[in-house]
């Protein structure tokens, strides 16, 4: 167990709706990253939060947004859901030390979102 928890585990929404996914980081971790994993593919980086500020973003439109709270937990919000948003959404936490490439990310079990 990594200590990273995500909720809910499964979610069904319809096109056009909005959704909020939640992530609780591993104790002591100050950085949270979110990933989208479509069926049969590797995870794609959405964005990262470090000390409550967005700290990098992948190729995702602005309708994907997030928050990080003072306790380092995080939310991913997706507006105007599209069918292609159906995927497993993974949250990963890490402790940023020197900000180098070696910080290990620990993942939660994900939220499986289905958009109908």
Partner 1 sequence: AQKITQTQPGMFVQEKEAVTLDCTYDTSDPSYGLFWYKQPSSGEMIFLIYQGSYDQQNATEGRYSLNFQKARKSANLVISASQLGDSAMYFCAMREANNFNKFYFGSGTKLNVKP
Residues of this chain that interact with partner 1 (CB under 8 A) are 2, 33, 35, 41-45, 48, 50, 55-56, 58, 88, 90, 92, 99-110, 112
Cα 42 from Cα 7, distance rounded (Å): 21
What's the closest the beta carbon of residue 39 comes to partner 1, in angstroms? 11
What's the closest the beta carbon of residue 18 comes to partner 1, in angstroms? 23
Q: What angle do CA 88, 94, 95 make, to 5 degrees?
A: 170
Closer of 47 and 115 to partner 1 (Cβ): 47
Q: 69: left (phi > 0), else alpha (psi -120 to 50), else beta?
A: beta
What's the closest the beta carbon of residue 16 comes to partner 1, in angstroms? 26
Dihedral of CA 56/58/59/62: which sign? Answer: negative
Closer of 7 and 18 to partner 1 (Cβ): 7
């Amino acid at each position: 167990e990594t200590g990273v928890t995500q909720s809910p585990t499964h979610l069904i929404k319809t096109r056009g709706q909005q959704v909020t996914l939640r992530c609780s980081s591993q104790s002591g971790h100050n950085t949270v990253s979110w990933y989208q994993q479509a069926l049969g593919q590797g995870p794609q980086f959405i964005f990262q939060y470090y000390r409550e500020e967005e700290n990098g973003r992948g190729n995702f439109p602005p309708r994907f947004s997030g928050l990080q709270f003072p306790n380092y937990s995080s939310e991913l919000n997706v507006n105007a859901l599209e069918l292609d948003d159906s995927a497993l959404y993974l949250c990963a936490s890490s402790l940023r030390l020197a900000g180098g490439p070696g910080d290990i990310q620990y993942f939660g079990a994900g939220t499986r979102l289905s958009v109908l």
